[in-house]
Amino acid sequence: MPAAPLLALQNIHLTFGGTKLLEGAELIVSPGERVALVGRNGSGKSTLLRIAAGQIEQDAGDRFLEPSATIRYLPQEPDLSAFETTLAYVEAGLAPGDDAYRAQHLVEALGLTGNEAPSTLSGGEARRAALARVLAPRPDVLLLDEPTNHLDLPVIEWLEGELASMRCAMVLISHDRRFLADLTGATVWLDRGVTRRIEKGFAAFEAWRDEVLEAEERDRHKLDRQIAREEHWLRYGVTARRKRNVGRLERLAGLRQDKREARRTAGGVNLEVSEARASGALVFEAENISKSFSARRVVADFSTRVMRGERVGIVGANGAGKTTLIKLLTGELAPDAGRVRLGANLQSAILDQGRARLHSETSLKDALTGGGSDTIVINGEGRHVVGYMKDFLFTPEQANTPIGKLSGGERARVALARVLALPSNVLVLDEPTNDLDLETLDLLEEMVADYPGTVLVVSHDRDFLDRVATSVIVAEGEGRWIEYAGGYADMVAQRGAGVSARPAAAKPARAEKPPASAPAAPVPKRKLSFKEKHALETLPGEMEKLTAEITALNAALADPNFYTRDPAAFAQKSAALAETQQKLQAAEDRWLELEMLREEIEG
């Protein structure tokens, strides 16, 4: 017999500003159960969680909480303003009999001292304090709304382990797929005001959701066909039996009403990038760069080469210097030592983590157009701003809504819309997944994968990095950065640990007594052949020579009178240009292959 629920919401209805947000939603949580609550931005997930927490009242429906059960709720934007220190804020969440030492322990485990003044906290630090507050009492039910937002990977992995070890029931809202998949055993999907439930964790959700939507589409198609048949009968059928005719007319009216009232899935976000002219094959090259601030070394003797079309992930703890590294690579910040070489024709578009370029009083329309216009230019073509807004799931009525009135997810979509409208061949994305729903994340991943330019992405979302990154640069501490081929999981396999720990190779070896038997013969180490060494040394000079030839050919072909004066020579130089460009591409690919091989052998 199943255990009685600790928390139950049944037939919940709620209307905001004339819009029906919840229409019969349900949420049932049994002891020890871990539930993922998923749905699009604006579908009402946070609202349903606040009803579950008892913070707001529903219009209709029932909320039940087992009388002896304790419940704790983590909001998206915690308010610490009434407390002098972070520890005082955390201890205020304890009930009589709770362990006060656990509060101090969690504060320190989350990287705080407890003496911080709330007014000085960053978003990530406030989130850590709020997590300590809800975890310290060991409640029976935990309601967590985007617990990983603004946290770095070490803290996310620590939090995942801490939650996995707890026995309480949980309801989790998160955009972090890996986090949800690792922790949940049931999934509730809030869609168009109602909930559906699957008794499987989030890992099974997306395939199940797609099956449900395909079945709905088939049902809508059948309804459309039925309406068409009834309309055909109405126009051309026999009209002698008046009573039967009236019945069929009523049936047709009912079918049309069903079609009108069917709340379809909202349209998808349409992510279209405004592309600039292609950059050169080489985008960034850093040679032994270093950067320090006062006595703190942020980057030490780092080298890398980023080619056109690569998608480079940058990961590390908060404060490791990820933003500094990006500024060095893009030329925004000069290194203290070493050299950074930028490729030709670079045009960058930057999505900053804090969405700093969005002012709360600016209207949605002006934020997208820059103000004073109803038109936005995408790939050289003007579009009305309302049409562009619809691509990002905004309604025409929201055009004059101040940015400060939008939800976190909506502000994230506005920031994306602004960045993607800028002509670029280099995208710099700093925590792009914060506050995005899963469907928008899917489309963002596809956009990044298909983007013809180069992408630098700072992210703590492990799944996102696995899906988009061609290489990952990891902070190893003390200014050391190492680049690994592949996504986050590939980096962990090569490094032997995630970013929350030092790689296995970096740990000091324990002194051990040598075995009595003779040691096994060492496996011969792979070495570069003479031919490979020679190619690695000579290819840079060959690439420079080919680049000079391409420049000269382009200059000759740019003469507007060349073709008229000598068509045969023009055709000859055009063919030579195409051939030289192919040679350069082949040389660059071969150099990159050999360079990666050299780094693998030496590192």
On whether 407 is known to bind a ligand per the annotation, the reply is: no
Of the two residues 592 and 2, the one the predictor is more confident about is 592
On whether 324 is known to bind a ligand per the annotation, the reply is: no
> Is the model's pLDDT at 105 over the cut of 80?
yes
pLDDT band at 34 (very low <50, low <70, confident <90, very high): very high
pLDDT in the model for residue 173: 94
Angle at 475 between CA 473 and CA 477, to 5 degrees: 155
Q: Which fold has domain 282-504?
A: Rossmann fold (3.40.50)
Average pLDDT over residues 68-77: 93
On whether 319 is known to bind a ligand per the annotation, the reply is: yes
pLDDT in the model for residue 219: 74
Asked if 143 contacts 75 with a C-beta cutoff of 8 angstroms, the reply is no
pLDDT in the model for residue 573: 85
On whether 42 is known to bind a ligand per the annotation, the reply is: yes
On whether 320 is known to bind a ligand per the annotation, the reply is: yes
For the chain, domain boundaries: 7-207, 282-504, 530-602
On whether 370 is known to bind a ligand per the annotation, the reply is: no
> Is the model's pLDDT at 205 over the cut of 60?
yes
Q: pLDDT tens digit string along 341-360?
A: 998 888 888 887 655 567 77
On whether 169 is known to bind a ligand per the annotation, the reply is: no
On whether 348 is known to bind a ligand per the annotation, the reply is: no
On whether 44 is known to bind a ligand per the annotation, the reply is: yes
On whether 97 is known to bind a ligand per the annotation, the reply is: no
Residues 240-275 as b or e (16 or more Cβ within 10 Å = b): eeeeeeeeeeeebeebeeeeeeeeeeeeebebebbb
pLDDT in the model for residue 181: 93
Asked if 5 contacts 64 with a C-beta cutoff of 8 angstroms, the reply is yes
Does 282-504 match 530-602 in CATH topology? Answer: no
On whether 43 is known to bind a ligand per the annotation, the reply is: yes
Tokens in use for 429?
A: 């994305």
On whether 316 is known to bind a ligand per the annotation, the reply is: yes
**Among the ranges given (106-120, 123-137, 162-176, 387-401), the one the predictor scored with the smallest mean pLDDT:** 387-401
Q: pLDDT tens digit string along 121-132?
A: 887 889 999 999
In angstroms, the CA 164 to CA 305 distance is 40
pLDDT band at 508 (very low <50, low <70, confident <90, very high): very low
**Among the ranges given (69-83, 96-110, 310-324, 386-400), the one the predictor scored with the smallest mean pLDDT:** 386-400
> Is the model's pLDDT at 267 over the cut of 50?
yes
pLDDT band at 151 (very low <50, low <70, confident <90, very high): confident
Find the radius of gyration of the CA atoms of the chain. Answer: 30
Of the two residues 353 and 571, the one the predictor is more confident about is 571
In angstroms, the CA 252 to CA 229 distance is 9
Task: Using DSSP, state whether 478 is helix, strand or coil.
Answer: coil
pLDDT band at 240 (very low <50, low <70, confident <90, very high): very low
On whether 8 is known to bind a ligand per the annotation, the reply is: no
Secondary structure (DSSP) of 53-66: HTSS--SEEEEEE-
7-207 belongs to CATH 3.40.50.300: yes
CATH of 530-602, one of 1.10.287.380, 3.30.450.80, 1.10.3720.10, 3.30.310.80: 1.10.287.380
On whether 317 is known to bind a ligand per the annotation, the reply is: yes
**Residue 120 Cα distances to 116, 117, 123, 305, angstroms:** 7, 6, 10, 38
